[in-house]
Structure 1
Amino acid sequence: MFHLKTKKKQIMALDLGPTALKMIILNCQKKPPQVVDILFYVYEQEAPALNDPAAEDFFYDLLIRALGPYRNRGIQVAMSLPAEMVIRQELQLPRTAEKDIPHAIYWALKEKMEQSPDIFQRDHLVLGSSRQGQRETMNVRVYLAKQDDVIRIEALFDRLGLSIQYLEPSDISMAAVLVHCPPPELGENPLVMNLGGEGSTITIMHQDLPFLSRQVGINTRTWSASLALKKGLDEEAARQLIHEHGVSYFRHRFDQLAEGELRELVFKSLETDIQQLALEIHRTIDYFQSSMHKGKVEQLVLAGGGSRLPDLDHYLAETLGIPCIVYDPLEQLDFSVCRGDEEKVAICRQQAPRFTVAVGMACQD
């Protein structure tokens, strides 16, 4: 993570998606972690990309409305960085470099850094060791962020009277939430499929770290657009049909149900994309198991808004032959002191898979 300031006992974690804001404040000194406040806030219009200079005014107005009570209180904020704002670099460093890894990273990336002087700072994860011939090496993933993007985000929160404490790539948050709030009986080397509105991330965990991460072009927004185009619907009607039926036709295709034709229509419109999703997961698992020799992937964990697609977990489990669960990051949290009314909490609980990244950020040490 890109640390900017010193962390306090409580931190506000923000995940600014393309259509909704997810916010949670946790007290992680309590066991289980206590939810101090939580919010799911849907935008009135589609958000611009966060690294677009024009986004500052959009998000300033949005955050004033959504987070008004917290303005000018100096509360510290952790925020997820979208994939397009993070450069990931995989390195193999000599084992002798472990005494000063940042220095070794600097020299390994010196040419790249000189070619891109606007790169702000870097952080890294040590993913383990390997041997090439007689030489033992460390596998390191380096995260780089651009200076202009980070300065723009800091300026936005300064205007709001909030203090950015760290910015974090989403795959680190995904790992953290599974470590601190694991689902029951989490299998070895779980694969986390984070299905988002703009893009999706596949992450395979190994020894509590995001060992293999990759972005895939599949996203939930294209599904409703595809159904709308094929069937002459407006996108909102298509989205509602998908939300209601998902891929349930796959599971209930032999049932004589009144809505059978509608289920089939939705499934057929999604079938190519869902098959592609399964293929991307299969390729990732195959590469991990055949090339990295870290054991088998024993479980598939669905997260993000797309994980709520009815019966997607059953489809992937049967297609891939791996147990699959829809992850609820809020399930093991304590809501007894949460500020706000029960209706707000209930809305957030309904959207629980979309809070995976935010909860992971809030759980960081």
Structure 2
Amino acid sequence: MVNSILQRYLQFIKRRLPPETEGPVIGLDLTESSCRAVELSLVKDRYELVRCFCSTMAGQDEKSVLKELVSGWQPDMTERDVLVALSGRGTLVRYLDMPRMPAKELRRAMAIEADKYLPFPKDTIHMDTVILDPHGTGRRMTVLVAAAKKEIVEARQKFFREGAVSLAGMTMGPVALANAFLVFSPDPEGRGPGAQAIVHVGEVISTLLIMMREGPRFSRDIFMGSQDVVRAFGNIQGVSLAEAWGVMDRPRQDEGGGDLAQAAKPMISNLIGEVRLSLDYFATEKNVMIERVVLTGPGSMLPGIVGAFEDRLGLPALSWDPFEQIQISDPTVRETVRQRGPAFVLALGLAVGGYDQG
């Protein structure tokens, strides 16, 4: 079971339209600080958001939040394909420049030479590769290599199995983010900039993804996010962590006044500094200049964050909400994503990836 899931997850990086109808797929973005899920269906070539779920971990643990999710999901979640993501320490996504070779030969080569490219002993990880430019004619090719420690994969599988969730697939956070962007780009028909920095501002881990028109070319987990803001905001207002999370979880963080903006400034400044380092590295290594920054994720709704990125990086920046492109029939679901859309991006990318397994 472990191998069958891990061997498939990199297929999610590509978009292939499924048959005319498919059963609904659930993308489940569960972290140590929050749980978000979306159920996506597709009829012909139109995606529809069927339902969604959002909860923070304030005063709760993962097991209780997962139980709340499963018990409240109708129809039964066990009748749906559920896909989840791995991220953080013990996982790795790298982009390698290698001599062009067929995919089968690449897998054989990586099985032998994995230690040359990865910091983990090869017998302790699950690993997969995908050629990002499979139709290229040059002598070199770009390869995405992803790896996760076996103990992490097996622990997550055990957790979901005990929570009555049957996993249909597992992928990496940056892969889910890339998939969401490829399918629901803010620039339809590929008319956007040639190189963009997608910054998913999470609660604990933020993800930087550099997208070219051909697909992803760089990603990095940055260990900071809106959880740092919650702590600072709670200290400023003299409230508990649970109460501070309550303000952060309100629509678009439109409450909290100037205190929330003040609490957010240090994290935003530090995050921009880390993003700048990576953009400079990418520009030097690849001789490619980033043309725009796209912000998404729960922390992208913090006051002042878009303007701060524009000012500090000297690049155009925008907030990306992919749900503006998705059909939503249920008025309650529509209102939820209208208020919190960017927070569901990773869950959306996971659900879209579920249609890519055919």
- Please classify the TM superposition score into its range, dividing by the shorter chain length: 0.7 to 0.9
* TM-fit CA distance, 1:333: 0.5
User: What is the CA-CA distance between 1:197 and the residue it aligns to?
Assistant: 0.8
Distance in 1, matches of 2:167 and 2:317, equals 35
- Mapped contact 1:34–1:335 kept (Cα < 8 A): yes
Aligned residue among 188, 200, 206 for 2:212: 206
Aligned residue for 1:330, secondary structure, equals helix
Aligned mate of 1:178, from 162, 177, 181: 181
Does the 8 Å contact 1:243/1:309 carry over to 2? no
Q: Indicate if the aligned counterparts of 2:51 and 2:333 stay in contact, CA closer than 8 A.
A: no
1:272: which partner in 2? 266
Matched, 1:354 2:343: yes
2:34 paired residue number: 20
Task: Answer with 98-107 or 319-328: which moved more.
Answer: 98-107
**Distance in 1, Cα, partners of 2:228 & 2:129:** 33
Q: In the alignment, which residue of structure 2 is the partner of 1:254?
A: none
Structure 1 residue aligned with 2:6: 2
Judged with a 3 Å threshold, the aligned counterparts in structure 2 of structure 1 residues 197 and 355 are, in CA distance, closer, same or farther, namely: same
Does the 8 A contact of 1:83 with 1:169 survive in 2?
A: no
Q: 1:149 and 2:152 equivalent? A: yes
Residue in structure 1 matching 2:325, options 328, 332, 345: 332
Q: CA–CA distance in 1 between the matches of 2:281 and 2:173?
A: 22
From 103, 106, 109, the equivalent of 1:101 is: 106
Alignment partner of 1:302 is 2:295: yes
| Distance change >3 Å, CA 37–CA 313, structure 1 → 2 | same
Native 8 Å contact 1:72 1:161 kept in 2:
yes
Q: How does 1:249-260 map to 2 (within 5 A)?
A: none
- CA drift at 1:353: 0.4
Residue 322 (str. 1) matches residue 315 (str. 2): yes
2:238 and 2:50 mapped to 1: Cα distance?
45
* 1:267 shift after superposition: 4.4
Question: Is the contact made by 1:2 and 1:122 (CA closer than 8 Å) also made in structure 2?
Answer: yes
How far off is 1:90 after superposition? 4.7
Alpha carbons 2:78, 2:166 under 8 Å: kept: no
Q: Secondary structure in 2 aligned to 1:363?
A: helix
Q: Give, in whole Å, the separation in 1 of the partners of 2:73 and 2:231.
A: 31
* TM-score (ref. length: structure 1): 0.77
Q: Deviations over 1:235-282 (max 9, x none)?
A: 4565677789x999xxxxxxxxxx9xx63x554544333222222222
Give the Å deviation of 1:106: 0.6
Residue 224 of structure 1 contacts residue 235 of structure 1 at CA under 8 Å; is this kept in 2?
yes
Q: 1:126 aligns with which of 131, 138, 142?
A: 131
Aligned to 1:77: 82
- Partner Cα separation in structure 1 for residue 31 and residue 253 of structure 2: 24
Change in 2 beyond 3 A, CA 1:162/1:284: same
Distance 1:10 1:64 in 2: 16
State the SS of the aligned residue for 2:323.
coil
Q: Which residue of 2 aligns with 1:51?
A: none
> Which residue identity does 1:169 align to in structure 2?
M
Unaligned runs of 5+ in 2: 12-17
Partner in structure 1 of residue 14 of structure 2: none
- Partner of 1:218 in structure 2? 224
In 2, Cα distance between equivalents of 1:174 and 1:222: 22
- In 1, distance between residues paired with 2:179 and 2:221? 18
Choose from 161, 166, 171 the match for 2:169: 166
Q: Secondary structure at the match of 1:103?
A: helix
Give the conservation status (yes or no) of the 8 Å contact 2:300–2:319.
Answer: yes
Give the number of aligned pairs. 332
Equivalence for 1:255: none
Counterpart secondary structure, 1:349: helix
SS in structure 2 at match of 1:84: coil
Tell me whether 182-191 or 226-235 shows the greater mean CA deviation. Answer: 226-235
Q: Is the 8 A contact 1:4 1:165 kept in 2?
A: no
**How far apart are the structure 2 equivalents of 1:46 and 1:82?**
21
Q: C-alpha separation between the residues in 2 aligned to 1:43 and 1:194?
A: 19
Bigger Rg, which one: 1
**Contact kept in structure 1, 2:47 and 2:326, CA below 8 Å:** yes
How far apart in 2 are the matches of 1:335 and 1:247? 23
Structure 2 length normalisation: TM-score? 0.78
Corresponding position: 1:288 with 2:278: no
Q: 2 CA distance for matches of 1:118 and 1:9?
A: 35
Contact 1:76 1:162 in 2 (8 A): no
Q: CA deviation at 1:348?
A: 3.2
2:68 counterpart of 1:65: no
Q: Distance in 1 between matches of 2:120 and 2:342?
A: 40
The question of whether the paired residues in 1 share the 8 Å contact of 2:261 and 2:303 is answered with no
The separation in 2 between residues aligned to 1:292 and 1:90, in whole angstroms, is 12
Q: Deviations over 1:91-141 (max 9, x none)?
A: 44332455522111111116879945342x322233459xxxxx9543323
